[in-house]
Amino acid sequence: MEILIPLIIVGSIGAFLGLGLGIASKKLFVHVDPRIPMILDVLPNANCGACGYAGCSGFAKAVAEGKAAPNGCIPGGAKCAHAIADLLGVTASAEEPQMAVVHCKGGRKEAAERAIYNGIQDCNAATIIGNGSKICQNGCLGLGTCVRSCPFDAIFINDNGIAEVDPEKCTGCGKCVKSCPRKIISLIPKVHKIFLACSNRDRGAKVKKYCSVGCTACTLCVKATPSGAITMDNNLPVLDYSKEENFITAAYKCPSKCYTDLVKKRSKANIDTNCDGCGLCITVCPVPGAITGEKGKRHVVDKEKCIGCGNCLHICPTHAITLWGTGLQPKQARMA
């Protein structure tokens, strides 16, 4: 008898709860679209929010409902877009991959400070206190707010104290762009490797006083780009990446070396035996002494001086010039 009572009590309460849960699971059944877990599987699951939805599960739901396009996941890229499109049975086009760049290279070596900052190591906090410790009011403060915002560990503070993006890891999600209080990070198409590493709005010699690599608005880069892809806006060049322009000449012509080229070794021009010695290539070459030769004789490119801008490829009437090692045609060389 003594064993029977607890047995009955535990047994009946257990059965009651089990029954109750069983009934509840039927009545409160929520239909979950079976495609949603499958979509979630192919997503990178970093919950970065670049798609505009609250996390990867939000995006998966929206795609299954047809509200979001399959190529909406930027970090997932083309592979992910096609996988989702296959799951849904539609065709998808991948968006052009982008990467973030920091428009500043004035670090400890180049830029002067007006004070020592000993506060909270956050760019927002430093901006609130008198707009930061650098004299330049637009430059990178190097306190790492963008580093903390990146879900892919693609941005870091380099040895010079400036934020730098790793092109291999960057997926173009745009979180760092939103996190920078000075708004000096932006997204450029991954295929372009040159950008202006300065955000300074001052002009003239006074910029040189506080930053050796600051843009003085000399407009030499604008003049060096006949395609018109660079325009001036409030003392700062603006690069139009939609134009067919590789910006190599502009980067070379800049006297303050404000441009950053992510390609460390560029392919150089090479003149083959088709050359008739007309000398047109020398007229468009931005580097004095890079191409030499007598009239009528085959010209020669100095591989050390050549910057690989490709201007000579288009002007050569006998198509004697190629970019050595790339096999690129002149039209493609414009965007190298």
Partner 1 sequence: MNNIANIISISIGAVFINNFILSKFLGLCPFFGVSKKLSSATGMGMAVVFVMAIASSFTWVINRFILIPYDVAYLQTIIFILVIAALVQLVEMALQKYSPSLYEALGIYLPLITTNCAVLGVALINTGVNTFTGEPYTFFESLLNGVMSGVGFMLALLLMAGLREKLEFSNIPKGLEGLPIAFITAGLMALSFLGFAGLNFFSPVGG
Name which of 133 and 270 has its Cβ closer to partner 1.
133
Among 24, 112, 129, 238, binds partner 1 (CB under 8 A): 24
In the set 11, 15, 20, 292, which binds partner 1 (CB under 8 A)? 20
Q: Is 129 in the site for partner 1 (CB under 8 A)?
A: no
CB of 29 to partner 1, least distance (A): 8
Work out how close the CB of 15 gets to partner 1 at its nearest, in angstroms, rounded to a whole number: 11
Q: Does 15 bind partner 1 (CB under 8 A)?
A: no
Q: Is 14 in the site for partner 1 (CB under 8 A)?
A: yes
Is the Cβ–Cβ distance between 150 and 165 less than 8 Å? Answer: no
Which residues 264-323 are close enough to bind partner 1 by CB under 8 A?
none
Give me 145's structure tokens. 């707010």
Q: Pick the stretch among 3-11, 177-185, 227-235, 265-273 that binds partner 1 (CB under 8 A).
A: 3-11
121 in contact with partner 1 (CB under 8 A):
yes
1: contact with partner 1 by CB under 8 A? no
Q: Does 30 bind partner 1 (CB under 8 A)?
A: yes
Region near partner 1 per CB under 8 A, out of 39-47, 118-126, 230-238, 305-313: 118-126
* Closer residue to partner 1 (CB): 30 or 205: 30
**Whole-number Å distance between alpha carbons of 196 and 262:** 11
Residue 9 Cβ, how far from partner 1 at the closest point, in Å? 6
Measured between alpha carbons, how far is 249 from 251 in angstroms, rounded to an integer? 5
CA distance 207 to 215: 7
What residues have CB less than 8 Å from 302, skipping those under 6 apart?
289, 290, 291, 292
CB-facing half-sphere around the CA of 255: CA atoms within 13 A: 10
Residue (of 152, 189, 145) closest to 75 by Cα position: 152
Q: Give least dist CB 21 to partner 1, A.
A: 6
Give the span between the Cα atoms of 13 and 62, in whole angstroms: 42
On the 0-12 / 13-18 / 19+ scale of CB atoms within 10 A, 324 is middle
Contact 259/251 with Cβ under 8 angstroms?
Answer: yes
Tell me which stretch binds partner 1 (CB under 8 A): 10-18, 34-42, 89-97, 314-322: 10-18
3-state per-residue secondary structure call for 130-145: CCCCECCCCCCCCCCH
Q: E strands along 93-154, which residues?
A: 98-102
| Count, residues near partner 1 per rule CB under 8 A | 19
N-to-C CA span, the chain? 90
**CB nearer partner 1, residue 4 or residue 205:** 4
Which residues in this chain contact partner 1 in the complex, by CB under 8 A? 5-6, 9-10, 13-14, 17, 20-21, 24-25, 28-30, 54, 120-122, 125
